[in-house]
């Protein structure tokens, strides 16, 4: 990645315009990522409560593959469709995803669908819808940002970070307050589609105001030139006509000039930003393997005193500390949100390999702790914060660099954004494949959980779900998510 240089912001955007745009893109980031994050919570609930926990991997893998396919289709066939038309489609597509998931979860709760597996597979439909909405929306908005001052990518990325923090908080709280589980939340969030479109139209309106101001300034300069030199009337008239044509192009989003995904264009993109794409792939691969592979196993053998004891029917009635994993994920998302909101600092961290080295160091630490057991549960808090910070920092710094890269040309921004996000998703998908293979071979240690159970004096000889009739959790199931 070439060293990032400060670009002079377009003078046609006033300070007030930039502030409003930052707010609008912030909320666009929240809405865009919220659906796919929450749908994973719905999938987690169904897979665990239906005793289909082994299918959770299928859920996440299918969602990631759909994202990759969506981004490829977008970069190959949709690049000439205006951003407004894409976002308008997403408005209705997103609404349908929320409504269908809500219906599936309500049908499961009310027992309208008696077959658990059918209910689970039905939930894959809204998972596909909201996952593709997220992928298409992210690619469209990031490419659309190339027509604005580049620092605005910080507003969008900050919104995506907050959506992750909100979802992690909801997932943790739902461990203890079942009413917070998202079956009703999906129905409540279904109007987010029209709000998404409305916010996009507001950004477009400000862009038109800026273009109008640019046109007015140009015409004023031409008028002054005419007064100073009457002999150049015809030439100035031609310049005005050319400028009007340019302004008409500026008022649409110039997607007719976008380059589609093909071998030649892909080679050009790779020549310009191959370091960014390669590092994004490796960073997301190592980050999510660390998060969903090593950390899951390491946290299983540790304990934390202030979380309440609950029973688990899935583990033969044993009690356990509910919410250990969800509690630490909060710090991961806090780190993610922090770095995504600090573009002015993160973009100065060069080269991008610093982010990769930092995440690999955390992964190596987890591997060592897996074998030697030298870290207490509370020490995981700064590790997870750091993992989120460097992962989120990679996101905002990389896309700021892509949008600011003058070698690419504006017509290559759409395909460049899609290539970068495909690298993200492919790294995430491959992390699951590698994690499944390694965790069931090299890192297969089934005694970790048993050791935790036997050494916890609070549960020795206690099988409250089966033996203790006074147990308040006897007839309730909880997510067992170590």
**Do 242 and 373 sit in the same domain of this protein?**
no
Distance between CA 49 and CA 181 in Å, rounded?
A: 12
**Do 114 and 224 sit in the same domain of this protein?**
yes
Residues in the chain, overall count:
482
Residue range 39-50: mean pLDDT, rounded = 57
Cα 186 to the center of its chain, rounded Å: 18
Task: Identify the pLDDT of residue 167.
Answer: 79
**Do 284 and 225 sit in the same domain of this protein?**
no
C-alpha dist (Å) from residue 396 to 27, 152, 166, 276 = 16, 10, 19, 12
Distance between CA 52 and CA 378 in Å, rounded?
A: 30
Q: Residue 222: pLDDT band by 50, 70, 90 thresholds?
A: low
End-to-end distance of the chain based on CA atoms, in angstroms?
A: 37
Is 1 inside any structural domain? no
Dig out the tokens for 106 from the structure.
Answer: 């309500």
Taking only the tens place, the pLDDT of each residue in 404-457 is 888 888 899 999 999 999 999 999 888 877 877 776 666 665 444 444 444 333
Contact of 130 with 98, CB cutoff 8 Å: yes
Residues 6+ apart with CB under 8 A from 464: 311, 317, 319, 471, 473, 474
Per-range mean pLDDT, top range of 161-170, 222-231, 470-479? 161-170
Distance between CA 418 and CA 23 in Å, rounded?
A: 24
Dig out the tokens for 343 from the structure.
Answer: 């573009």
Is 269 inside any structural domain? yes
CB count, 10 Å around CB of 470?
6
pTM of the predicted protein model:
0.79
CATH code, domain with 186: 1.20.1250
Specify the range with the lowest mean pLDDT, choosing from 144-148, 303-307, 419-423: 303-307
**Do 451 and 315 sit in the same domain of this protein?**
yes
Instruction: Write out the residue range of the structural domain in which residue 18 sits.
Output: 14-258
Dig out the tokens for 381 from the structure.
Answer: 């808090």
Contact of 290 with 302, CB cutoff 8 Å: no
Residue range 245-270: mean pLDDT, rounded = 75
Distance between CA 321 and CA 449 in Å, rounded?
A: 12
Taking only the tens place, the pLDDT of each residue in 94-113 is 999 888 888 887 787 777 77
For the chain, percent of residues with pLDDT exceeding 70: 67
Contact of 458 with 309, CB cutoff 8 Å: yes
- Residue that wins the pLDDT comparison between 276 and 50: 276
**Do 237 and 269 sit in the same domain of this protein?**
no
Number of domains forming the structure of the chain: 2
**Do 156 and 47 sit in the same domain of this protein?**
yes
Helix (H, G, I), strand (E, B) or coil at 321: strand
Specify the range with the lowest mean pLDDT, choosing from 118-122, 127-131, 298-302: 298-302
Q: DSSP letter for 350, please.
A: -
- Residue that wins the pLDDT comparison between 6 and 428: 428
**Do 308 and 377 sit in the same domain of this protein?**
yes
- Residue that wins the pLDDT comparison between 478 and 208: 208
Whether the pLDDT of residue 283 is over 90: the answer is yes
| Helix axes 380-404 and 413-439, enclosed angle (nearest 10) | 150
Task: Identify the pLDDT of residue 211.
Answer: 78
Residue range 36-56: mean pLDDT, rounded = 59
Task: Identify the pLDDT of residue 294.
Answer: 76
Is 190 inside any structural domain? yes
Is 5 inside any structural domain? no
Task: Identify the pLDDT of residue 128.
Answer: 83
C-alpha dist (Å) from residue 66 to 124, 129, 167, 207, 288 = 11, 9, 21, 32, 18
**Do 37 and 117 sit in the same domain of this protein?**
yes
- 310, β-bridge pairs: 320
**Do 48 and 99 sit in the same domain of this protein?**
yes
Whether the pLDDT of residue 136 is over 80: the answer is yes
Please provide the average confidence, as pLDDT, over all residues in the chain: 76
| End-of-domain residue from the set 227, 258, 289 | 258
Task: Identify the pLDDT of residue 467.
Answer: 43
| End-of-domain residue from the set 243, 258, 273 | 258
| End-of-domain residue from the set 237, 258, 279 | 258
């Amino acid at each position: 990645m070439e060293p990032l240089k400060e670009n002079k912001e377009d003078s046609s955007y006033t300070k007030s315009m930039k502030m409003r745009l930052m707010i609008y893109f912030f909320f666009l980031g929240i809405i865009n990522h919220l659906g796919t994050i929450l749908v994973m919570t719905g999938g987690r609930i169904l897979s665990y409560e239906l005793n289909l926990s082994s299918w959770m991997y299928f859920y996440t893998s299918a969602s990631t593959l759909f994202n990759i396919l969506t981004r490829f289709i977008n970069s190959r066939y949709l690049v000439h469709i205006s951003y407004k038309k894409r976002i308008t489609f997403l408005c209705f597509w997103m609404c349908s995803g929320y409504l269908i998931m809500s219906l599936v979860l309500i049908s499961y709760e009310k027992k309208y669908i008696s077959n658990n597996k059918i209910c689970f597979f039905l939930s894959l439909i809204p998972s596909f819808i909201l996952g593709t909405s997220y992928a298409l929306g992210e690619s469209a908005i990031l490419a659309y940002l190339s027509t604005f001052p580049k620092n605005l990518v910080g507003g969008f990325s900050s919104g995506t970070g907050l959506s992750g923090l909100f979802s992690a908080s909801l997932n943790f709280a739902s461990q203890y307050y079942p009413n917070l589980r998202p079956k009703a939340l999906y129905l409540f969030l279904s109007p987010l589609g029209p709000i998404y479109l409305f916010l996009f139209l507001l950004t477009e309106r400000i862009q038109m105001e800026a273009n109008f101001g640019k046109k007015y300034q140009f015409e004023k300069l031409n008028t002054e030139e005419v007064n100073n030199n009457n002999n150049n009337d015809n030439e100035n008239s031609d310049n005005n006509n050319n400028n009007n044509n340019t302004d008409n192009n500026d008022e649409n989003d110039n997607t007719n000039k976008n380059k589609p995904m093909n071998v030649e264009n892909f080679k050009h993109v790779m020549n310009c930003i191959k370091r960014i794409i390669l590092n994004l792939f490796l960073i997301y691969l190592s980050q999510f393997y660390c998060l969903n592979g090593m950390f899951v196993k390491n946290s299983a053998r540790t304990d934390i005193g202030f979380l309440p004891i609950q029973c688990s029917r899935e583990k033969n009635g044993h009690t356990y500390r509910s919410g250990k994993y969800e509690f630490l994920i909060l710090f991961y998302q806090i780190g993610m949100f922090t770095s995504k909101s600090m573009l002015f600092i993160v973009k100065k961290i060069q080269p991008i390999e610093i982010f990769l080295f930092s995440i690999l160091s955390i992964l190596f630490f987890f591997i060592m702790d897996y074998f030697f057991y030298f870290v207490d549960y509370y020490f995981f808090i700064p590790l997870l914060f750091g993992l989120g910070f460097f992962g989120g920092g990679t996101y905002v710094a990389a896309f700021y660099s892509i949008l600011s890269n003058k070698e690419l040309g504006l017509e290559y921004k759409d395909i460049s954004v899609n290539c970068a996000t495909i690298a993200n998703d492919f790294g995430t998908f491959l992390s699951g494949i590698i994690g499944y293979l390694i965790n069931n071979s090299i890192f297969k240690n089934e005694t970790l959980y048993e050791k935790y159970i036997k050494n916890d004096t609070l549960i020795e000889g206690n099988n409250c779900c089966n033996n203790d009739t006074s147990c308040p959790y006897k007839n309730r199931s909880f997510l067992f998510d170590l």
